[in-house]
Amino acid sequence: MGVHIEQKSLFAYGINLDDRVRRDNPLRRIAEVIDFSFVRDEVRELYGRKGNESVDPEIILKLMFLLFLDNVKSERELMRIIPERLDYLWFLGYGLDDDIPNHSVLSKARNRWGRDVFEKFFVRSVLQCVEAGLVGGEKIHVDGSVIAADASQASVVRAGPELIAELKRLYGVEEQKLESAREYKYYKRKNKWMLSLTDPDAPVVRHSKQGSDGVSRPRYKQHRGVDDDYGVITAQTTTPGDIEENIQLEPIIVDVTTPFVNQPNIKLARVFVLNAHLSSSAQKQKLAAQLHDTMIKNS
């Protein structure tokens, strides 16, 4: 596992990156309050001791962070703009002459680290928000959002339900050969007549939100629990786009309460506000019984 050591440039250009990054740049504040070096201990055992030295995991995590912080459209684009952004170079600990990693290091790291490691990152972030007083834990909003898959409309084929089911099965067999194959629990697919050949895990569904184009596209859905105090997301999961919110209520509610179990100063949620309507009063009663005196209501 590589560890990046920041070094001064061999040739002096008279440029100090610390002087070139303005004092109110958000990355300065982020660097002050977040120590990304913890990732080294989390993933140390996933790297060998021989062979080529890897990119420092701390830098990899920072690259992933920048990708979402500034909503960069792709990993390739991120690597292209890093040399042009002095604040990025400063944040990553790079100098003007340092080589920027290839974009493939991010996908390789995701595969190497695996889902469990990223779940630890998420829980760690939530607990830090709890310690900072940003999470009250008493009132949680549960909702879901449809997300467009990275698959074009041209990849969608239309056929009879039997052929679509067989195509889905064959793609599933091929995916099992890949280390990065995604696994989803079995569910009843809504659209049995359409399938994306480039992303068969993304069902072809319409976006029901008012003002949407109403076109069926490959989509996923993010389900989340959001704390009422400061809007901190305390639980989330991503499913195929045709999974209704009420199906994910129980696992989301369990995940929401988990970070607070060993926090004596935090009360477990007493109100869950659901933007998804429960499928039946029986489901509502079941959840209420599991959560004892917790109130469950629709928004």
* Residue reference for tokens 């972030």: 125
Name the residue among 98, 110, 106 with its Cα closest to residue 76. Answer: 106
C-alpha–C-alpha distance, residues 106 and 57, integer Å: 10
Quickly state the pLDDT bin for 186 (edges 50, 70, 90).
Answer: very low
* Residue reference for tokens 């100063």: 265
pLDDT at res. 31: 93
CB atoms within 10 A of CB 168: 15
Residue predicted with more confidence, 196 or 46: 46
Q: Does the pLDDT value for residue 46 go beyond 80?
A: yes
* Residue reference for tokens 């390789």: 108
Torsion sign over Cα 117, 120, 122, 124? negative
Lowest-pLDDT range, 1-10, 159-168, 224-233, 240-249?
A: 1-10
pLDDT at res. 66: 96
Q: Are 156 and 194 in contact (CB under 8 A)?
A: yes
Q: Does the pLDDT value for residue 110 go beyond 70?
A: yes
C-alpha–C-alpha distance, residues 39 and 44, integer Å: 8
Residue 297, beta-bridge partner list: 273
pLDDT at res. 26: 95
Instruction: Render pLDDT for 244-299 as a digit per residue (tens, 0 to 9).
Output: 777 777 777 767 666 555 555 555 555 566 655 555 566 666 666 655 555 555 55
Instruction: Render pLDDT for 1-45 as a digit per residue (tens, 0 to 9).
Output: 777 766 655 555 667 888 889 999 999 999 998 889 999 999 999
pLDDT at res. 212: 55
C-alpha–C-alpha distance, residues 168 and 105, integer Å: 30
Angle at 89 between CA 116 and CA 123, to 5 degrees: 20
Quickly state the pLDDT bin for 179 (edges 50, 70, 90).
Answer: very low
Q: Mean pLDDT across the stretch 155-179?
A: 68
Q: Are strands 217-227 and 271-274 parallel, antiparallel or unpaired?
A: unpaired
Q: Are strands 204-205 and 271-274 parallel, antiparallel or unpaired?
A: unpaired
Q: Are 146 and 278 in contact (CB under 8 A)?
A: no
Lowest-pLDDT range, 66-75, 192-201, 272-281?
A: 272-281
Residue predicted with more confidence, 83 or 253: 83
Quickly state the pLDDT bin for 78 (edges 50, 70, 90).
Answer: very high
C-alpha–C-alpha distance, residues 274 and 248, integer Å: 11
Residue predicted with more confidence, 6 or 170: 170
Query: Against a cut of 0.85, is the pTM above it?
Result: no
pLDDT at res. 276: 55
State phi, psi for 238 to the nearest 5 degrees.
-120, 135
Q: How far separated are the first and last CA of the chain, in Å rounded? A: 48
State phi, psi for 146 to the nearest 5 degrees.
-80, 135
